[in-house]
């Protein structure tokens, strides 16, 4: 079986599995060796056609992106190259810096030491008045 047919067969199985089970699947693939740009200072940005074996990785994906480390700027670029349904996002580029001490990617200008888990935490009064899952059921029928 030619590589292209095998890739299509596998992708159809993955898509069918995701649709039947209602899960989101991330297929991680490494691109072919990327050529350097003319001046040799950096590599070209990979795209969904850069995955070895088949153009079907672009054709059959619903949302596709590549991650590129720009050696000139030192930034990490996320290139959103295909978004099938426009209400789920749009194509474009996100640029992030890597902060080694806490191993986080941060947007330029953001404080990398902010504890992002607590940024939107409600204040005590809001927390007390929040509806809890147990408030939605009578005691005998609560699943919690």
Q: What is the pLDDT of residue 139?
A: 55
Higher pLDDT, 98 or 131: 98
Residue in this structure with the two tokens 């693939």, named with its chain if needed: 29
Task: Please give the tally of structural domains in the chain.
Answer: 1
Residue range(s) defining the domain that contains residue 18 = 3-141
How does the average pLDDT of the chain come out, rounded? 79
Residue 3 above 80 pLDDT? no
Q: Checking DSSP bridges between strand 76-83 and strand 92-99, what pairing results, if any?
A: antiparallel
User: For residue range 93-110, what is the model confidence (pLDDT) as tens digits?
Assistant: 999 998 888 888 888 888
Q: Is the pTM of this model over 0.75?
A: no
3-class SS letters over 84-126: CCHHHCCCEEEEEEEEHHHCEEECCCCCCCCCHHHCCCCCHHH
Who has greater pLDDT, 132 or 111? 111
In the predicted model, is pLDDT for residue 73 greater than 60?
yes
Say what the pLDDT of residue 143 is: 43
């Amino acid at each position: 079986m030619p590589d292209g047919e095998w890739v299509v067969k596998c992708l159809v199985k993955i898509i069918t599995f995701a649709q039947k089970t209602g899960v989101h699947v991330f297929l991680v693939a490494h691109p072919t060796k990327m050529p350097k740009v003319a001046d040799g200072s950096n590599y070209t940005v990979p795209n969904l056609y850069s995955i070895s074996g088949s153009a079907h990785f672009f054709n059959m994906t619903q949302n596709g992106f590549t991650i590129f480390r720009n050696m000139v700027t030192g930034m990490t670029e996320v290139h959103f190259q295909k978004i099938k349904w426009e209400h789920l996002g749009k194509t474009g580029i996100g640029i992030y810096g890597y902060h080694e001490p806490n191993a986080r990617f941060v947007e330029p200008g953001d404080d990398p030491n902010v504890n992002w888990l607590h940024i939107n935490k409600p204040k005590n009064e809001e927390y007390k008045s929040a509806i809890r899952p147990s408030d939605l059921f009578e005691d005998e029928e609560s699943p919690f």
